[in-house]
Structure 1
Amino acid sequence: MCRGCLDLVVIIEPGDTEWVVVDEKVRRKVFSSGNLMFVIYDLDPGAEVPLHQHPEEQAGFIVKGEVEIYTDTTRRVLKEGSWYHFEPNEPHGGRVVGSQKALVVDVFTPPKKEFLEPSRK
C-alpha cells in the first residue's frame, strides 16, 4: 500500500451526513463528489416517488424491503438485492410495497443539483 494514499480518498462516516426529511415517509442522505452522487433513502411503508424524469443517469440497489419500480410502460416489484437503471430523461417512479420499511441506494451522474444542499454538516 502506498504511503499517503488515504490522503487522496474521501471517506464519509455515518455521522458525517444528516438525514434530510423529504416528506413524512421519505428521508435521504446525500454524498456527492465530482461527477457522481450517492443517495441513501429510508422509506416508510406506502412511500411513493411519483412518475418523473430528470437529465441525470440513475442506477439503484434495493438494500432492504420491496419496492415497485415503474416507467410509463411497465411495473416490477424489486426485492432486497435487486438493481435497476434509468437512462437520462426516462420517465420513472417507485413505491414501497408491503408493511416493511425500505432502504434504497441510488447513484446519479452527473449529481442532481437540487440534492446538493444540505448534504454535509
Structure 2
Amino acid sequence: MSNATAQTAGAWTQVDEKVRRRILSHTPEMMVVEVEFQPGGYGPPHAHPHLQSTYVKSGSFDFTISGEMRTIGEGDSIVVPSNAVHSCQSASGGGLIDVFAPAREDFLTP
C-alpha cells in the first residue's frame, strides 16, 4: 500500500515583482515547488539546510553555487548541496521546478 497522496497545486506567492512560486506537493520529507521568473528575475544569494534539485522547465538561468557560475537551459537540472550559498538569474524569464528535502517549512507559513 502506498503512502503517496495526490495534491492540488497551491496558490501563487509573489516573492518580488519578477518572481513567484507555488507549492505543487509536499510531505515533511520532500517538497516540489514551481517558480516562475519574469525577464530579469533574480534569486539573491542565500543558503538553507535543505538539499535542492532544480529542473529548468523553460528559459535559461545563470546559477551561482558556492562561487561557481553555470548557465543551464530548458530540460537541464542542477543539484544544490545543503548549506551551499547559491543564487540564480534569468535574463529571458522562465520556469523552474524545485525539489527540496526535507520540505521547506518556511514556505508553508504565510
Q: Give the alignment's TM-score, normalised by structure 2.
A: 0.89
In structure 2, the partner of 1:69 is 63
1:109 aligns with 2:104: no
Aligned residue for 1:65, secondary structure, equals: strand
Give the C-alpha shift of residue 111 in structure 1. Answer: 1.0
Within 1, Cα distance between the matches of 2:79 and 2:45?
15
Q: Which residues of 2 match residues 26-105 of structure 1 at below 5 A?
A: 26-30=19-23, 31-98=25-92, 101-105=93-97
Check the 8 A contact 1:68/1:77 in 2, yes or no.
yes
Runs of 4+ in 1 over 4 A off after TM superposition: none
2:6 maps to 11
CA distance in 1: counterparts of 2:109 and 2:96, whole angstroms: 20
Normalised by the length of structure 1, the TM-score is 0.82
Task: State the aligned residue count.
Answer: 109
1:38 and 1:106 in contact (8 A); partners too: yes
CA distance in 1, matches of 2:104, 2:14: 17
- Whole-angstrom distance in 1 between the partners of 2:68 and 2:82: 17
Identity rate, percent: 28
Bigger proportion of residues as strand: 2
Q: Which has the larger radius of gyration?
A: 1
Tell me how large the CA RMSD over aligned residues is: 1.7
Give the drift of 1:58: 0.5
State how far apart, in whole Å, the 2-side matches of 1:73 and 1:25 are: 24
